[in-house]
Amino acid sequence: MKKFLPIVLLTIISVFLIFYRFADIPKNLAFDEVEFTKLALSLNNKPYIPYSQLATGHSTLYFYILLASLKTFGINTFALRFPAAIFGILSVLLFYLIMKKVFKQSNNETMKQWLPFILSLILLSSRWFLNFSRFSFEATFLLFLELVSIYFLIKFNENQKAKIPFLRQSPGAPVGVWRSKKTVSCFYLIISGLFAGFTFLSYTPGRIFFLLPMGFLFLTMKQWNNETIKRILLFLIPFVITVTPLTSYLLTNKDIRIDQQFFLKNNEMTVNEKISGLWHNISSTALMFNIKGDVNGRHNYPNKPALNPILGILFIFGLIISIKNFNNLYNKLFLLYFLISIFPALMTYPWENPNMLRIYTVLPSVVYFVGNAIIKLLTIVHKLVKNRGISKYLILITFYLILIFSCFYELRTYFKYQSIVFKQSFEIKLPLEKAIKFKFKP
């Protein structure tokens, strides 16, 4: 019960928050949602199509899931948005499992037990996360796929570490056990590669995600030998097999969306304009977290920073700690994840940035940095007060209450204020079954 209680609690809270007033916030439809429905329905009763030029061009993996939902529940708003909600819930649970492994080395037993749970609540209650779990965009699906790949990558790394001392202690006896662990390790790496391939087939920013697990494999590599080559092949073979249908299509056809958005490819722009645009993208994305957020009402309460003041300060502090302690393997992993997640937005036209949709998968890294900051601050405070008779549990409770206040602040902002903006941002007031029969101008 102690092991499964946090997962059960997170599931209940996630279901409640994501489905609370699910039909009312947002009540209307976005133009893109109607186009997504048309794309999904266009796949019905046809052989597998890896890419569709509808809705400005998309790979189709997510839209087959949308199609299944629409066929199950009917052509309505609930069916359209249900997959994003489910993947949002699953992402919270996966994030908890990852944080549990990442922070299990903590010396503080209470911290080890409850920090992953608190961090998962921070992720869930973030209006940035919650927002995209409540309508039909691909963001939560991509996040879910990436977290599965990362989870099995970490499991693989753990399994590799676990067998080494065992072999050294009794090199003659444990051959069967070693083979068993080796088989399990191979399985973890294959699953990681498979889901990295699925990210390639999902939302466009996921095309470069495979660089993260590949980078992680190189970071954990002690020397280049046959075992190392085998690890890379175990990851790459399922990845390559999975992405082959889409890559085969893209070798002979243009990716419409990338051609539209990749501004460095625009021959009509001067070099100075491109440099200026790139600098704008970097600065606006950096300022998005604490100063000025996304202006798009579907993505954000216009111009409001992506993080509230409490989380914003912890994020910056935790980011500095992670860079300073770069030798820590998980710091390297999440710093690389952070950079890979923001890269797609930097390559798009400057007037579309900051964009909280395109860098949605940066959220796990942000919350990880918050976790690093929490551990460091509690360590500092504990050292300052240990000789003054103040209980460490009182410090922990106070800190957790501040974080819970932050969660409620985020929820209040989303449901009370951002929900009002949706009345203008989601412009189509027709029911979905009628909206798909009309032609709208975006």
| Local confidence band at 399 (pLDDT 50, 70, 90 cut-offs) | confident
Instruction: Annotate 49-66 with b (16+ C-beta within 10 A) or e (fewer).
Output: ebbbebbebbbbbbbebb
Exposed/middle/buried for 260, CB within 10 Å: 0-12, 13-18, 19+? middle
What angle separates helix 211-219 from helix 226-252, to the nearest 10 degrees? 170
User: How much is the pLDDT for 168?
Assistant: 41
User: How much is the pLDDT for 178?
Assistant: 47
pLDDT mean across residues, the chain: 88
**From CA 353, how far away is CA 294, in angstroms rounded?**
7
In the predicted structure, residue 33 carries a pLDDT above the cut 80: yes
User: How much is the pLDDT for 398?
Assistant: 82
User: How much is the pLDDT for 165?
Assistant: 41
Gyration radius of the chain over CA positions: 23
Residues 275-331 pLDDT 10s: 999 999 999 999 999 999 999 999 999 999 999 999 999 999 999 999 999 999 999
Exposed/middle/buried for 280, CB within 10 Å: 0-12, 13-18, 19+? middle
* Amino acid present at 339: L
Measured CA distances, 21 to 8, 157, 358, 369, 419 (Å) = 22, 41, 26, 31, 11
In the predicted structure, residue 40 carries a pLDDT above the cut 90: yes
In the predicted structure, residue 32 carries a pLDDT above the cut 80: yes
**From CA 22, how far away is CA 415, in angstroms rounded?**
11
User: How much is the pLDDT for 118?
Assistant: 92
Q: How far is CA 176 from the centre of its chain?
A: 38
In the predicted structure, residue 390 carries a pLDDT above the cut 80: no
Exposed/middle/buried for 7, CB within 10 Å: 0-12, 13-18, 19+? middle
Element (H, E) at 151: helix 139-169
User: How much is the pLDDT for 395?
Assistant: 75
| Contact status, residue 111 vs residue 58, Cβ threshold 8 Å | no
The pairing of strands 51-52 and 58-59 is antiparallel
Element (H, E) at 30: none
Model pTM?
Answer: 0.92
